[in-house]
RNA sequence: GCGGAAGUGGUGAAAUGGCAAACACACUAGCCUUAGGAGCUAGCGCCGCAAGGCUUGGGGGUUCAAGUCCCCCCUUCCGCACCA
């Protein structure tokens, strides 16, 4: 190809040129109005935190979403593909401490830089709908929602034990505590503090959030399972035990009320409200209980509550079994959790593993009250855990099955008023107060006279004060700004104080995707009619690390908005895709390991197209991807081949009219066949399988096949219309993956308008069909040879061809042909003996 | 312990019950030369000169046919975990 030498693929020239042209056309990536007759498609990637730099994982995430968005545009959909910034949060305050830059400036300048990176990568976002969560025109609606939730009792204040990260100097939600440590500081143990905090009543939606998961069949099973576990529904019974010689009662929660005749003790959590009074007259006991509490706390901090050594102390008091009247000792035990169920359990050592272990240790009686359903079965060893059994030693309930006993016992408890059927959730209300500066101010006022008074709607937004000294001392930074704190009570006009806590940043990301649909609305969070058109999101794409936090909060928020009458959908996203991580040398990238790949560096050396396309080519999108720079270079070389090929034959292709090609044959047919097979494959993949790595491979195969016959092409063996068909479709298929080179070559081929809005090619099945195929021939399931037969040949024709093969003949000679299996188009298998 | 995913060449991987290793990377040999982060040709799972044989973590099974479906086991990763 000596004559090709002057044609060189130079992304450093092509890409900035197109970037400039695209920037000059704000309508290019804009969605049509809701009145457009086109079907809608809302594709969304999770918005980034503006840390200052896009990392390579972002490049992968957004390359997937952008390829899909571009494909859907080409398919003629009305596509919404927006982008924004999850811009509140602690790092801005840390940067402020370190560099004395105000959080707002730091954040906005990071956003500007990352936006440039997005644009350099050629991501097709509609920047006209950009959402920046730290700006008042966004966060005022957080406040507005807060007020609506307050009105409905969904936002409330309570004093509670909260998770406190000393490093963040703030409260963490349960979801932000991982193994007893802060989600942002893996070396920092989370402390428990008593604080009055604002909560969102997510538990009011626990059942609905759980049930909704069954219908989310477009979500990965893994995410649904994680959410199910997190919500942790458990159906059982609450039963009240009396306390001997006292008026107090102890409520226990159990899933196995059928075993209650086997309860030989009642165990209280060290923090149970009754513990203080039961130990009041016994100082020695108090000390022991304190020790149990300490053990529980340190186990929690070590992140290994499950491995705690079971300890307990008897209180000397007795509980009264409400069914049998039996007196059983009341203990305090370190393995009973105060924040699950009622903080008290009945201990049934005969039929519960933990209770058995505990009872064995302290010589508490073990009693068998359940026998296997099958009377012939051997007497099982204790603890016998199966629920497939019948009650024994259980008074009037003896003989009932476990299941029947549970409902009977529940019924009696309800009738007599000492218990009821009860569903318990592991999910807790969402603590949203943060003692930080860089977040949405909670729109509440504390008045000496009127108590808690919501900020009236017409006084929103409650603006974050600009000048705040950020320090590491505890307490809310806003508390140190008198102009902010001191305010007149909206009710009485008297002196009052503003709430100085700000909202958890997960509030911001719980509803941002609705704002995209109507981002400039200054009188409402969004127009319900527009949201109704776009929602639910058709495809949401992000990392699996958000499986619990963001994805459960936003499902909750969607239901709250639905109940406020703002939207009609129950779920925010129909389909969710969680892409794999990008790793390097088999390990997660981190600065300390020095294996961080910089997107800027990649784009600088190989161009955006090569970087993006490699991110899609190196692995299927749902799997972890080990970044190998040689691979990027390889993709870059491939794009160079495409570039030279198209540039070389574009002049010929341009001479063709758009008239249809009639009856192609020979080489033309061969190439067109490959083309149409490739179109079919890629189109199918976009419809759900999403193996973009094999899509890129298919394009490579097509290019390889065309290139292999370069000499014949150069000799003019393939006419201009065929060349035109080949090259334009090649460029169209490349467009979702490598938008710059596609735009450049589209123009070179004389394509009309933007390649992004050119129609996606349609595979012609007649052209794609091979007229002769190879069929493997097996003997007893082992491959022996391959025969060629015309496509669609009948089974007997294929069988005859197979039997005619000399290789087959010689192998079956003298043997008995038991059976011949012919799967037309697939295989022939001869079973011989 | 419970739940989920995965295990295929030197590497990333492909194969939706029907020819295992497509497409790339790396490597080897050669060509070209305006010496380029270039291009072209050929080779590249393992054993074997070859003919041929063997090969998808291990074991069993279903099937005419299994990387793919079923059962058991091993390993790795992820999530949850005294949740009563």
Q: Are A202 and A230 in contact (CB under 8 A)?
A: no
If you write DSSP's letter for every residue of A535-601 in order, what string do you get? PSBSEEEEEGGGTTHHHHHHHHHHHHHHHTTS---SSSBSBEEEEPPEEETTEE--TTTT-PPPHHH
| Cα–Cα nearest to A332, from A278, A369, A372, A403 | A278
Model confidence over A623-672: pLDDT tens digits? Answer: 999 899 999 999 999 999 999 999 999 999 999 876 667 778 889 999 99
Alpha helices in A180-312 (DSSP H): 206-215, 221-231, 275-278, 283-301
Q: Which of residues 31-90 of A touch strand B (CB under 7 A)?
A: none
Phi, psi of A534, deg, nearest 5: -85, -25
Q: Using the structure block, give the residue that is written with the tokens 């705690």.
A: A308
Chain B nucleotides covered by protein, CB below 7 Å = 3-5, 11-16, 18-20, 22-26, 32, 34, 37-41, 54, 64-66, 78-84
Candidate from A360-374, A646-660, A674-688 with smallest mean pLDDT: A646-660
CA of A538 to C1' of B11 (A): 36
C-alpha dihedral, A359 to A363 to A369 to A373, nearest 10°: 70
Alpha-carbon distances of A273 from A242, A248, A295, A643, rounded to whole Å: 15, 11, 18, 75
Mean pLDDT of chain A: 91
Which pair of structure tokens corresponds to residue A281?
């007259």
> Is the CB of A221 less than 7 A from some atom of nucleic acid strand B?
yes
A377 CB-near residues (< 8 Å, 6+ apart): none
Q: What average pLDDT does range A92-100 have in this prediction?
A: 85
pLDDT at residue A301 tops 80: no
CATH superfamily of A233-425: Valyl/Leucyl/Isoleucyl-tRNA synthetase, editing domain (3.90.740.10)
Query: Residue A785 CA to B28 C1' — how many Å?
Result: 31
Q: Could you tell me the pLDDT band of residue A306, with boundaries at 50, 70 and 90? A: low
pLDDT at residue A691, rounded to an integer: 92
pLDDT band at A781 (very low <50, low <70, confident <90, very high): confident
A587-588 and A582-584 as β-strands: parallel, antiparallel, unpaired?
antiparallel
Tell me what the mean pLDDT of segment A367-395 comes to. 87
Helices (H), A128-220: 136-151, 206-215
pLDDT exceeds cutoff 70 at A528:
yes
What span, in angstroms and rounded, lies between the C-alpha atoms of A818 and A833?
Answer: 7
CA-based torsion, A749, A754, A756, A758: positive or negative: negative
- Phi and psi of A418, rounded to 5°? -115, 15
Element (H, E) at A255: none
The CA distances from residue A392 to A261, A321, A397, A411, A610, in Å, are 9, 17, 8, 19, 72
Instruction: Yes or no: say if A655 and A718 are a contact pair by the CB < 8 Å rule.
Output: no
Q: Are A88 and A442 in contact (CB under 8 A)?
A: no
Predicted pLDDT of residue A379:
80
Residue labelled with tokens 């080990």: A626
Q: Is A770 a residue whose pLDDT tops 60?
A: yes
Q: Are A367 and A375 in contact (CB under 8 A)?
A: no
Q: Where are the alpha helices (DSSP H) in A282-419?
A: 283-301, 353-362, 402-416
Distance CA A521, CA A793 (A): 64
Tokens of A28: 């290019």
Whether pLDDT at A755 is above 50: yes
Residue A672 near residue A661, CB atoms below 8 Å: yes
Single out the residue of A649, A654, A772 nearest to residue A709, CA to CA.
A649
At A473 the pLDDT is 66
| Residues of chain A (226-265) having a beta carbon less than 7 angstroms from strand B | 226, 229-230, 232, 234, 236, 253-256
Residues of chain A (286-305) having a beta carbon less than 7 angstroms from strand B: 305
> Which residues, including other chains, have CB under 8 Å from residue A830's CB and lie 6 or more apart?
A777, A778, A779, A780, A802, A803, A808, A812, A817, A819, A820, A821
Q: Report whether pLDDT(A90) > 90.
A: no
A717 touches strand B (CB under 7 A): no
pLDDT digits (tens, 9 = 90+) for A35-63: 999 999 999 999 999 999 999 999 999 99
Radius of gyration over every alpha carbon of chain A, rounded to an integer in angstroms: 34
More confident residue, A84 or A778: A84
Q: Measure, in angstroms, how far nucleotide B34 C1' is from residue A482 CA.
A: 73
Q: How confident is the model at residue A722 (pLDDT cuts 50, 70, 90)?
A: very high
Q: How much of chain A, in percent, has pLDDT values that exceed 70?
A: 97
Is the shortest CB-to-strand distance from A6 to strand B under 7 Å? yes
Contacts of A134 (CB under 8 A, 6+ apart): A85, A87, A88, A104, A107, A438
Dihedral-angle region of residue A191 (phi above 0 means left; psi in -120 to 50 means alpha; beta otherwise): beta
Q: Quote the pLDDT of residue A293.
A: 86
Hunting for tokens 């494959």 — which residue is that?
A681
Q: Which residue is nearest to nucleotide B34 (CA to C1')?
A: A5
Encode pLDDT of A412-463 as tens digits. Answer: 999 999 999 999 999 999 989 988 899 999 999 999 999 999 999 999 999 9
- A772-832 CATH fold: Ubiquitin-like (UB roll) (3.10.20)
Range in A81-90, A357-366, A552-561, A588-597 with the lowest mean pLDDT: A588-597
DSSP track, A382-410: SS---SSEEE-S-GGGTT-BHHHHHHHHH
pLDDT surpassing 60 at residue A5: no
Residue spans in chain A of domains classed CATH 3.10.20.590: 772-832
Strand partners, A789: A773
Both tokens assigned to A697? 């491979």
Supply the DSSP string of A105-145, one letter for each residue: HHHHHHHHHHHHHHHHHT----GGG-EETTSHHHHHHHHHH
Chain Cα centroid distance, residue A749: 41
H or E element in which residue A171 lies: strand A170-172
Count, residues in chain A: 833
pLDDT at A509 over 60: yes
Going A788 to A792 to A793 to A798, the CA torsion angle's sign is positive
What is the maximum span of chain A, computed from C-alpha positions, in angstroms?
A: 109
pLDDT of A296 reads: 81
Residues 6 or more apart in contact with residue A464 via CB below 8 angstroms: A136, A139, A437, A438, A440, A441, A478, A502
Which residues, listed in sequence order, are joined to residue A423 by a DSSP beta bridge? A235
Residues 6+ apart with CB under 8 A from A100: none
Least confident of A214-223, A478-487, A494-503: A214-223
Residue A2 has pLDDT above 70, yes or no: no
Instruction: Copy the structure tokens of residue A40.
Output: 């809608």
Return the number of other C-beta atoms located less than 10 Å from residue A108's C-beta: 18
Give CA–CA dist A797/A795, Å, rounded. 5
pLDDT of A728 above 60: yes
Confidence bin at A496 (pLDDT 50/70/90): very high
Q: Which of A2-6, A208-212, A229-233 has the lowest mean pLDDT?
A: A2-6
Distance A301 CA to B78 C1' (A): 22
Nucleotide nearest A304 (Cα, C1')? B81
Looking at residue A305, its pLDDT comes to: 62
What's the pLDDT tens digit per position in A162-187? 888 888 778 877 767 777 778 777 77
Q: Which residue is nearest to nucleotide B25 (CA to C1')?
A: A631
Helix (H, G, I), strand (E, B) or coil at A366: coil
Tell me if A773 sits within 8 A of A791, measured CB to CB.
yes
**Which nucleotide does the CA of A334 lie closest to, via C1'?**
B82
Q: What is the mean pLDDT of residues A670-698?
A: 94
CA distances from A90 to A170, A307, A570 (A): 10, 33, 31
A696 strand B contact, CB < 7 Å? yes
Q: What are phi and psi of A84, to 5 degrees?
A: -155, -165
- pLDDT score recorded for residue A3: 42
Identify the CATH class of A599-768. Answer: mainly alpha
Whether A4 has a pLDDT exceeding 60, the answer reads no
Predicted-complex ipTM score = 0.94
What angle, rounded to 10 degrees, do the helices at A608-617 and A629-654 form?
A: 110
What is the rounded distance in angstroms from the CA atom of residue A78 to the CA atom of residue A69? 10
Q: What is the DSSP letter of A798?
A: H
Tell me phi and psi for residue A44, to 5 degrees. -140, 130
Distance from CA(A741) to C1'(B72), angstroms, rounded: 53
Return the higher-pLDDT residue of A452 and A476. Answer: A452
Ranges of CATH 1.10.730.10 domains, chain A: 599-768
Average pLDDT over residues A705-728: 93
CA separation, residue A683 to residues A234, A369, A613 (Å): 45, 62, 17
Query: Is the bond preceding residue A383 a cis peptide, omega within 30 degrees?
Result: yes
The answer, yes or no, to whether the previous bond of A461 is cis (omega within 30 of 0) is yes
* Contact call for residues A685 and A623 (beta carbons, < 8 A): no
Would you say A433 and A171 are in contact if contact means Cβ atoms under 8 Å apart? Answer: yes
- Only one residue has tokens 């001392």, namely A473
Q: Residue A536, preceding bond cis, omega within 30 degrees?
A: yes
Q: What is the pLDDT of residues A204-220, one digit of tens each?
A: 999 999 999 988 988 98
* Cβ of residue A709 lies below 7 Å from strand B: no
Which residues of chain A does CATH 3.90.740.10 include? 233-425
Whether A602 has a pLDDT exceeding 50, the answer reads: yes
Reported as a single tens digit per residue, the pLDDT across A253-293 is 999 999 999 999 999 999 899 999 998 888 999 999 999 88
Instruction: pLDDT band for A22, please (50, 70, 90 cuts).
Output: very high
Q: Tell me A476's DSSP state.
A: -
């Amino acid at each position: 190809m000596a004559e090709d030498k002057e044609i060189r693929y130079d992304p450093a020239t092509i890409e900035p040129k197109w970037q400039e042209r695209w920037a000059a056309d704000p309508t290019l990536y804009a969605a049509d109005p809701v009145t457009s007759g086109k079907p809608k498609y809302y594709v969304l990637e999770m918005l980034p935190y503006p840390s200052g730099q896009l990392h390579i994982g972002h490049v992968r995430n957004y390359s997937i979403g952008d390829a899909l968005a571009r494909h859907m545009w080409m398919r003629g959909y009305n596509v919404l593909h927006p982008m924004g910034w999850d811009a509140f949060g602690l790092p801005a305050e840390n940067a402020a401490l370190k560099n004395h830059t105000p959080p707002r400036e730091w954040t906005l300048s990071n956003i500007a830089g990352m936006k440039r990176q997005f644009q350099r990568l050629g991501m097709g976002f509609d920047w006209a709908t950009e959402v920046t969560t730290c700006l008042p025109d966004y966060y005022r609606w957080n406040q507005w929602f807060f007020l609506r939730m307050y009105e409905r009792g969904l936002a409330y204040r309570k004093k509670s034990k909260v998770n406190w990260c000393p490093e963040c100097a703030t409260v963490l939600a349960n979801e932000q505590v991982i193994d007893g440590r802060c989600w942002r500081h893996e070396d920092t143990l989370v402390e428990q503090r008593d604080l009055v905090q604002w909560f969102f009543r997510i538990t009011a939606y626990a059942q609905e959030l759980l049930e909704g998961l069954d219908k989310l069949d477009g979500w990965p099973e893994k995410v649904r399972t994680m959410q199910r576990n997190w919500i942790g529904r458990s159906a059982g019974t609450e039963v009240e035990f009396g306390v001997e010689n006292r008026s107090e009662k102890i409520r226990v929660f159990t899933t196995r009320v059928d075993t209650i005749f086997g309860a030989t003790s009642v165990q209280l959590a060290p923090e149970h409200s009754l513990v203080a009074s039961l130990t009041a007259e016994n100082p020695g006991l108090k000390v022991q209980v304190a020790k149990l509490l300490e053990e529980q706390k340190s186990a929690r901090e070590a992140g290994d509550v499950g491995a705690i050594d079971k300890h307990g102390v008897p209180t000397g008091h007795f509980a009264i079994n409400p069914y049998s009247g039996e007196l059983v000792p009341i203990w305090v035990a370190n393995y009973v959790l105060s924040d699950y169920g009622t903080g008290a359990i009945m201990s049934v050592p005969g039929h519960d593993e933990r209770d058995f272990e505990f009872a064995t240790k302290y010589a508490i009686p073990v009693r068998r009250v359940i026998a296997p359903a099958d009377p012939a079965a051997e007497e099982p060893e204790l603890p016998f855990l199966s629920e497939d059994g019948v009650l024994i030693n259980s008074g009037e309930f003896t003989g009932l099955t476990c299941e029947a006993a549970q409902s009977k016992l529940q019924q009696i408890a309800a009738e007599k008023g000492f218990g009821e059927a009860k569903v318990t959730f592991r999910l807790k209300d969402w603590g949203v107060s943060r003692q930080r500066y860089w977040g949405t101010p909670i729109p509440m006022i504390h008045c000496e006279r009127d108590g808690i008074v919501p900020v009236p709607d017409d006084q929103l937004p409650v603006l974050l004060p600009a000048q705040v000294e950020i320090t590491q001392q505890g307490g809310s930074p806003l508390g140190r700004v008198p102009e902010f704190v001191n305010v007149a009570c909206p009710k009485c006009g008297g002196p009052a104080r503003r709430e100085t806590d700000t909202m958890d940043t997960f509030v911001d990301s719980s509803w941002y995707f609705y704002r995209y649909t109507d981002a400039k609305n200054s009188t409402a969070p969004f127009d319900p009619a527009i949201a109704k058109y776009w929602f639910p999101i058709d495809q949401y794409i992000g990392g699996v690390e958000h499986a619990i936090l963001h994805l459960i909060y936003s499902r909750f928020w969607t239901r709250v908005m639905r109940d406020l009458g703002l939207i009609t959908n129950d779920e925010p996203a129909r389909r969710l895709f969680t892409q794999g991580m990008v790793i390097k040398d088999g390990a997660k990238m981190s600065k300390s390991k020095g294996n961080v790949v910089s997107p800027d560096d990649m784009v600088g050396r190989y161009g955006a197209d090569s970087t993006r396309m490699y991110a899609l080519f190196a692995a299927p999108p749902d799997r972890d991807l080990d970044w190998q720079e040689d691979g990027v270079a390889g993709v870059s070389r491939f794009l160079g081949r495409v570039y030279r090929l198209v540039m070389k034959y574009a002049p010929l292709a341009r001479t063709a009219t758009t008239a249809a090609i009639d009856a192609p044959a020979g080489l033309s047919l061969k190439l067109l066949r490959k083309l149409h097979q490739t179109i079919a494959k890629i189109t199918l993949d976009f419809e759900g399988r999403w193996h973009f790595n094999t899509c890129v491979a298919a394009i490579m195969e097509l290019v390889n096949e065309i290139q292999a016959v370069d000499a014949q092409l150069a000799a003019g063996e393939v006419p201009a219309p065929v060349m035109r068909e080949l090259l334009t479709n090649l460029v169209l298929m490349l467009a979702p993956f490598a938008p710059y080179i596609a735009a450049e070559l589209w123009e070179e081929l004389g394509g009309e308008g933007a390649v992004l809005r050119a129609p996606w090619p349609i595979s012609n099945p007649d052209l794609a069909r091979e007229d002769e195929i190879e069929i493997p021939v097996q003997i007893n399931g082992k491959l022996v040879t391959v025969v060629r037969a015309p496509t669609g040949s009948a089974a007997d024709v294929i069988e005859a061809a197979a039997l005619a093969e000399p290789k087959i003949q010689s192998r079956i000679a003298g043997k008995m042909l038991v059976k011949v299996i012919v799967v037309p188009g697939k295989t022939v298998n001869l079973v011989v003996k």
